[in-house]
Amino acid sequence: MEGFRATGRGKILILFALLVLAYRVSYAAPGYGTHMPEKRHFTCGLEGNFLIDRDLDNDEGATNGNRYFFTLSYGIFEWLCFDGKAGVGDVHWDRTKGNDDMDYSTNFAGAYGFRIKGYENEDWGIKSVVGFQHVSVHPDAKNQAGEKHETIIDEWQGSIIVSKVIGDFVPYLGARYGTVDFIKWVNEQDRKRIQSENYYGVIVGMDYWLNNTTKINLETGLLDGEEFAIGISRDF
């Protein structure tokens, strides 16, 4: 990345301030930003994705959980990339109607998606992408009151994002449409899919380039739930 270079101490202070601000704002599902790997190249990294609160439809309470991923993006064409994740995650269910809350322990979590380049203006440092993302969390079963409770979290999202280069910083803003589906069943029967209460949201995020190949990403959002993501990645 070309442009302004802060001192080492300045970079740390600025990054810390942005992290605190992002955590205090409200939160959104990861949309990956507008940086895409070049054709036949990879971007690999690590990500923490924290679903803090997502209300469920029909007065079914709310869900939250933590996910930790190894991430990989591959440039299929100059204008199209595949995004994949593999890792672990847990699930908590804040139940209503006098029922006890449920905690499902950490197990496999994965994700996939794609992004397509949109409008770009190099002189103004503006980029845009359209994307689709799916996250699935498969926590361990929970035995409670003599019954076996199982769940899967399916998170679906379509998004459009626009970014602006400001030196080492690339802030971005976008819109999303998606749902967090809470799929549950008891004693291997009575499977039920509960959708989240809200579908539309606003994505707010930023990339911060440590050098020409390595960046830190922070992402939050508004309106549809509380979720926060932080990651680091490197181009290859």
pLDDT tens, 78-111?
999 999 999 999 999 887 766 778 899 999 999 9
13-40 pLDDT, tens digit per residue, is 555 554 444 333 333 346 789 999 999 9
**What domains can be seen in the chain, in order of their start residue?**
8-235 (2.40.160)
Q: Which of 40, 23, 43 is nearest to 32 (CA)?
A: 43
Cβ atoms within 10 A of the Cβ of 18, count? Answer: 16
143-161 pLDDT, tens digit per residue, is 888 889 999 999 888 999 9
Measured between its terminal Cα atoms, the distance across the chain in Å is: 15
Sign of the dihedral defined by the CA atoms of residues 122, 77, 158, 16, in that order: negative
Extract the tokens encoding 191. Answer: 């499977």
CA distance 86 to 112: 9
Calculate ∠ Cα 175-178-183, nearest 5°. Answer: 160
CA distance 43 to 19: 22
Q: What is the pLDDT at residue 19?
A: 46
Confidence of residue 53 (pLDDT cuts 50, 70, 90): confident
